[in-house]
Amino acid sequence: MTTSISFKIGGSPLFSSWLFSHLLFPSKELIYQRRRLLRSALLIALVMIPLVLALIFMDGMMQGITDKYILLQDGHLQFYNLDELDDPLVQSSDLVTSGYGIIYSRDKSAEVKLKGVKEDYFNSQRCAELKIKEFKAESTGSVAQIMVSETLLKELNVEVGERVAFILIPEGEQKGVRPMLAQVAATYNTGYYELDSSLIFLNYEVAKRYLPNGGRSYLEVLVDNRGSGHLDELGERLAKGGSWASWDQFNRTVYQNFVTSRQVILLVFILILVVAGVYVASVSNELIQDSFQAIALFKALGAQQKSIRRSYFWAVMVVTILGIALGLVVALVLGHYLSPILVWLSKQGFEGLRYYLLDFKVVVAYTDLLFIVGSMVIIASVTVMFTLKRIKEISPLEVLQQD
């Protein structure tokens, strides 16, 4: 007795590819099937778009805010030992002095930080973060000339050239406060309300004269990209035992709120992906149901379950991945127009947008996008695998049944 049947393990890849291509590209007459595939891909794309845009917005805005705080308010690092720094990672080092106080006009008052800077402080990097308008106001004697944000001027109801007064926090052993007068000689606008509403610039020498005890002086240091990820190490190294601080120590609260918002968006994303994953499973189930008799026939003709499952799995996953890719591409393209649109909306009077930085560069967190895409693919795969179990239950005998 000879064994006449050869046992070849593994399904035929050619049959799988053939079936897969028929599922993915149904013939022209199969309008419903084509529409179903297109609808699935478009729906997934549609869901991806606003979520990716929200991420781009949060990331761009957070990066923009961080840049503004670093470049204009605190620098990457502050060193209280005023010796010159010589390090390849240090991009710029500026001697500044600062003090805190309350600015007041006829009607209003506000808490502010006064920052005395030298002429070369506003380098090209910093100038990119704000718009400065200087005015040739008539000098009023020994009164200090200051640069105030347009936002703060509006709140104080003060015009350029007018005087304002300060009371400043005493420094060192000085007791009591004394008012200081100043004249608004220039205005600036960073586009970010939180920063604009509390920061005032003046000349370094003038600040040393007027701020109590000359203010608090320090070296404000900007580092290049290589150093920005290792600020703590760099700070320790450059301080050489002296005291120093990094920017995030000053701005934790502002930053934290946005980090939380971003996390919420990611959480929402995951929830929506779970719902989308179930939708993908229903598409898969539909595909299988439509091919019930065909699957029974393939089995009757000797096709292995593995080959059939593989074809259906990849047909559904390819549609899903195409939808994700389409959504990502459209979102990334639209993302470049997000900032101008938001700026326009803000000008139409959407007051709530004041809390956000609207003029930002597009920042794409590829890691997060990869995580989201990966999550979607995994969720869809898992849900589709469940529906593919149905294929196992289809008996070749059912090819003889009519339904």
Partner 1 sequence: MVTPKIAYRYAFSKSNRHRSASLIIVFGLAIGMMALITLLALMNSLQSDLLDQVKSIESFHLQLSVTSNENIGEITQKIALLEGVAGVYPHVNTQVMVGSLRNGESSTGRLRVVDETIWLEENPFMDHLFLVDGHPPKGEEEVALSSTMAYKLGTRVGDELQITILVPGRTAPLAPVNFSFRVSGLFTTSLSEFNESTLITSSQPLLERIGLQRIAFGLYLEGRAINNSKGVIADLKELFPQGEVKSWQQLNSAFYSALTLEKAMMYLFLSFMFLILGVNMKSAASRLLFVKQRELAILRAVGAPKKSSLKIFILQSLLITSLGLALGVASGVLLSTHIGRVFSFFNRVQYLFTRRNNPLLTYPFTITIVPLEIAIVALVILLLSLLFTYFGCRSLLKREPMELLNHE
Partner 2 sequence: MSEVLLRFENVSKIYPSGSSHLTILEELNFSIEAMSSVAVVGKSGSGKSTLLNLAGALDRPTSGRVLFKGDDIGKMGDKELSLYRNRHIGFVFQSHILLEDFSALENISIPALIMGESARVAKKRAYELLERVGLRGRAHHKPQKLSGGERQRVAICRALINGAQLIIADEPTGSLDEASKEEVEHLLLEMVKEEKRTLLMVTHEQALAQKCDHLYLLQNRGLTLV
Residues that bind partner 1 (CB under 8 A): 36, 39, 43, 46-47, 50-51, 54, 100-102, 104, 106, 109-111, 165, 167, 169-170, 172-173, 175-179, 253, 256, 259-261, 263-264, 267-268, 271-272, 274-276, 278-279, 281-283, 285-286, 289, 292, 350-356, 387, 390, 402-403
Q: Residue 143 gets which letter from DSSP?
A: P
Residues in Cβ contact with 182 at an 8 Å cutoff, skipping those fewer than 6 apart: 143, 144, 145, 146, 163, 164, 165, 166, 202
Tokens of 390: 């149905």
Residues 23-52 that bind partner 2 (CB under 8 A): 26-27, 29-30
Binding partner 2 (rule: CB under 8 A), the pick from 88, 172, 229, 302 is: 302
DSSP H helices in 143-291: 150-156, 193-196, 204-210, 225-228, 231-239, 252-290
Piece of 88-96, 137-145, 292-300, 329-337 that binds partner 2 (CB under 8 A): 292-300
Nearer Cβ to partner 2 (82/400): 400
- Cα separations (Å) of 231 from 153, 242, 299, 377? 35, 15, 64, 37
Question: Taking CB within 5 to 8 Å according to partner kind, which of partner 1, partner 2, none is near residue 271?
Answer: partner 1
DSSP sequence for 60-106: HHHHHHHHHIIIIII-SEEESS-S----TTEEEEEEEEEEEEEEE-S
State the nearest-atom distance from the C-beta of 16 to partner 2, in Å.
9
What whole-number distance in Å separates Cα of residue 112 and Cα of residue 107?
A: 16
The answer to whether 291 and 284 are in contact (CB under 8 A) is no
Q: Residue 359 gets which letter from DSSP?
A: S
State the nearest-atom distance from the C-beta of 297 to partner 1, in Å.
16
Axis crossing angle, helix 31-68 with helix 305-347, rounded to the nearest 10: 50
State the nearest-atom distance from the C-beta of 313 to partner 1, in Å.
16
Binding partner 2 (rule: CB under 8 A), the pick from 50, 170, 214, 396 is: 396
State the nearest-atom distance from the C-beta of 351 to partner 1, in Å.
4
Give the amino acid at 68: K
Question: Taking CB within 5 to 8 Å according to partner kind, which of partner 2, partner 1, none is near residue 209?
Answer: none
Contacting positions for partner 2 (CB under 8 A): 1-9, 12-15, 18, 22, 26-27, 29-30, 293-294, 297-305, 307, 395-397, 399-400, 402
